[in-house]
Amino acid sequence: MKVKVNDNVLVLTGKYKGKQGKVLKTDPKAGKVIVEGVNIVHKHEKARKANETSRIVTEEAFIDASNVEVVCDKCGKATRVGHIEVDGKKVRVCKKCGAPLDKAYVKKVKGKPAAEEAAPKKRTRKRSQKAETPAEAPAEESK
């Protein structure tokens, strides 16, 4: 199943066709997902104790995973999910724009190294220049 929890998906068929929502729960064995605000059902809940009241509860029910498509964060379009292998890990990617769909992968590989590399380089240059000039001056004086 190519849909994971917290993915934004577009419903392709049925009563809620065209509606977008976040995946709340998945059932890979059955191939079904629960999408926020989609396939709303009413359940009658009977009072089990003397101080409770009976009520009608509305909640989301499962829909088939084949009836939804993942929406790419980068291009904003519903797309099929492709896979590439990077550093021995299988990563989900958008078939239209090639952007990674796994948010954990985007944060670890794409976002942090660029920010971490830029900031320490600036700091190390300043420190190394300050450290080198006082260290070199006493060494030259002693010679």
- Would you list the domain boundaries of the chain? 1-45+57-80, 107-143
pLDDT at 89: 85
pLDDT of 23 over the 50 cut: yes
Provide the pLDDT for residue 106.
59
38: Cα within 13 Å, side-chain hemisphere: 29
Architecture of domain 1-45+57-80 in this structure: Roll (2.30)
The DSSP line for 39-80 is SEEEEEE---STT---EEEEEE--EEGGGEEEEPTTT--EE-
pLDDT, tens digit (0-9, with 9 covering 90-100), for 59-99: 999 999 999 999 999 989 999 999 988 888 889 999 888 88
